[in-house]
Amino acid sequence: MLFDKYQVSLTFTEPLLGGAPKNPKVFETYLAGRAAKRMTPEGRVSAEALSELMAEEAGALPEGDEKGWTGFYSDDKGMFLWDNQIKGFIKEAAAILKNALGEGESISALRSKLDNFLYVFPRRIRPVGAVVMEPLERPLRAMTMQGPRVSLIRSDQIAAGASVSFELEVLHVVQKGKVVISQELIEEILSFGRLKGLGQWRNGSFGRFTYTLAKA
């Protein structure tokens, strides 16, 4: 089985906001929704594997119990991003880009191929040069059954200049004489993703970055 390997480095040009809920009950609700999505008829993830994954993530939650406050996962070595956060970002950016271009295969097919053919290493990706800033507070407007409501959201953040590095291992699949997930496709996704941003409040231009991509 042949894999193409790439070394990727992201250097943040805007602060990166943490997205892990500090309140355990909020996290439980998030996990329940995630489990419902992952437990598909195709059986992509077994109940046992999903349970172990969730337990691992819950054990790395940031400390605190206040609703509306998000931070970074951490362990005894410091804060980190999960591999699935990077993979989720890649899938989201690819779907938006594919929809904008309106080319070829369906978005669902592209997301499925990225899900099945692309893997991120290591499991825990640690920011280098991370300078922790004061939490960012912002209003969140939502429409409820009782009418419009505004709540205050708070996110831990690290300053621009921090970087993360990781490896992509991509299954080398050729269809109709063309590599399904090529280096050019990954570059397109990252070139769009650097503007879309990573982490919380991407619509506020947070989490933007520059990147390098090199074949390993």
pLDDT tens-digit series, residues 85-142: 999 999 999 988 887 665 555 656 888 899 999 999 999 999 999 999 999 998 877 7
pLDDT at residue 32 in the model: 59
Q: What percent of the chain has pLDDT over 90?
A: 54
Whether the per-residue pLDDT at 172 is higher than 80: the answer is yes
> Which amino acid is present at 104?
G
Return the SS3 of 142. Answer: strand
Is residue 74 within 8 Å of 80, Cβ to Cβ? Answer: yes
What's the CATH class of domain 3-22+73-130+163-215?
alpha beta
pLDDT at residue 41 in the model: 47
**Spacing of C-alpha 97 from chain mean position:** 16
Encode pLDDT of 33-91 as tens digits. 655 555 554 445 555 555 565 566 666 666 655 667 889 999 999 999 999 999 999 99
pLDDT at residue 72 in the model: 94
What are the residue boundaries of the structural domains of the chain, listed by start? 3-22+73-130+163-215, 23-60
* End-to-end Cα, the chain, rounded Å: 17
Helix crossing, 83-101 with 183-196: angle to 10°?
Answer: 100
Is residue 209 within 8 Å of 198, Cβ to Cβ? Answer: yes
